[in-house]
Structure 1
Amino acid sequence: MDLNNKSILITGSTDGIGRELANQLKATGANVIICGRSAEKCAAAEQDGFRTIQCDLGTAEGCDALVASYGDATLDILINNAGTQVDAQIGADAPLDALEQEMFLNYHVPVRLIAGFMPKLEAAREAMIVNVTSGLALAPKASSPGYCASKAGLRSFTKSLRYQLDGKDIHVVEALPPMVDTAMTAGRGTARMKISPQDCAAEIVSGMRSNRANIFIGKTKLLKRVQRLSPGLADRIMSKM
């Protein structure tokens, strides 16, 4: 896809992977709209020349407000990047409220936004939906069962949506990053296990340009091969993470 002059909305884009995506997509000539919760970070993005929408996607009302706030402008590409990860041991003391919020943000928000923006995407000459999942959608780890489940659910939803939209000029893309060095992964893993947000974003942008249905990034490429050859081995490796 030629990204020049495309109108692109990216959720969770005031920092981390989302902000790097915004920077790199803007460099292609795209018109990028940043959204996030922080008024301060939105203001900083505006200073860099972005249109911003401040919103809290933690509720259904927040999702509806984002769709409404977008207004009458055209939308060519929706990137569902916002997400959160909760480390949790499941038992009597499990943080159930946090796990439910994690599932809402990681799974329900993309579904609601895709539904809300579908009329704009259908009206575009060539459109794209990019759902950012995770290598953990392929094989889960022990420490974050809710996160793994939410990303696996979004992966399955993305596949099904692709089937539904077959024949329409809307590309449905899944991006599967490995562990990325962002605020969300602080204290998790080691520096050697992580890739930079810049490198992650670069692979996603390259995949978008190539209209790839699945963008495997960094070590998720190896995980995909291992899972194909031996799903049990992939599970055993990831279960120790």
Structure 2
Amino acid sequence: MNLNEKSVLLTGGTNGIGREIALQLKDKGAHVVVTGRNPERIAAMEAAGFETMAADLSNAAGVDALIAQWGDRPLDVLLNNAGQLVDHDFRKGAVDADAADVAIYANLNAPIRLIAGLIDALKSRPSSAIVNVTSGLAISPAARQPVYCATKSGLRFYTLSLREQLKETAVRVIEALPPVVDTQMNDGNPMKKMPAEECARQIVEALEKDRNEANIGMTKALRWAESLSPSLARSVTLKF
């Protein structure tokens, strides 16, 4: 896809990987609308020349409000990047079930609801794309992040099914599977982290080159290990 003058809706675009994606898409001539919740980060993106839409994607009302705000404007790329981590480790003590519900909605329900609400706009374009950002942990889980792993694997399988459904249309469905990336979300994670700028570059490249998947960084090795032996892959990731 030639990104010049393409209209992009990028969720979670004010920080981390999303912010880097927004900057790189803008450099390629795309008109990028970013969503976020933090007023200071939203203001910073506006100061950098981006159109923004404040959006709380942790519930149906927030998603529907974003869809309504988008209205009938053209849409070439829906990039579902927003996501949340939640501490859900029984080894540390009691867990917060309500916080888990919020993360499940933001990570899984919100992308599905956004796609359902905006699919007609995407289908009306001569060439369009849905990009769902999952994770290497959608392939093999980490013990300390069961909710995050469950939602990302759920989004992975949704993406695979959606791609099959839309294969006769002009809508390409792309999955991006990042490794551990150097963002605020991963503060305190002891694993080696990929720079957010490089992760974003590979996601944008997959979009430009019409790839079905972007297996990024160490995710490539994890995919290889999982293809040889799922139990081998799990024996590595479950330690983290």
TM-score range, shorter chain: over 0.9
Alpha-carbon distance in 1 for matches of 2:109, 2:155: 9
User: 1:3 maps to what in 2?
Assistant: 3
**Number of residue pairs matched?**
239
> Helix, strand or coil for the counterpart of 1:171?
strand
* Post-superposition offset of 1:90: 4.0
The alignment's C-alpha RMSD in Å is 1.1
User: 2:151 maps to what in 1?
Assistant: 150
User: 1:18 maps to what in 2?
Assistant: 18
User: 2:196 maps to what in 1?
Assistant: 197
Mapping of residues 133-212 of structure 1, within 5 Å? 133-190=134-191, 193-212=192-211
Mapping of residues 28-47 of structure 1, within 5 Å? 28-47=28-47
Q: Which runs of 5+ in 1 are unaligned?
A: none
Alpha-carbon distance in 2 for matches of 1:67, 1:215: 27
Once the two structures are aligned, what percentage of the paired residues are identical?
A: 47
User: 1:60 maps to what in 2?
Assistant: 60
Mapping of residues 66-81 of structure 1, within 5 Å? 66-81=66-81
Alignment-mate amino acid for residue 214 of structure 2: I
> Helix, strand or coil for the counterpart of 2:199?
helix
Alpha-carbon distance in 2 for matches of 1:115, 1:220: 28
Alpha-carbon distance in 2 for matches of 1:4, 1:167: 24
* Post-superposition offset of 1:40: 2.1
TM-score, scaled to structure 1: 0.96
Mapping of residues 94-105 of structure 1, within 5 Å? 94-105=95-106
Q: Which runs of 4+ in 1 moved over 6 A?
A: none
Alpha-carbon distance in 2 for matches of 1:87, 1:217: 25
- Shifted more, 115-124 versus 89-98: the winner is 89-98
Alpha-carbon distance in 1 for matches of 2:75, 2:222: 34
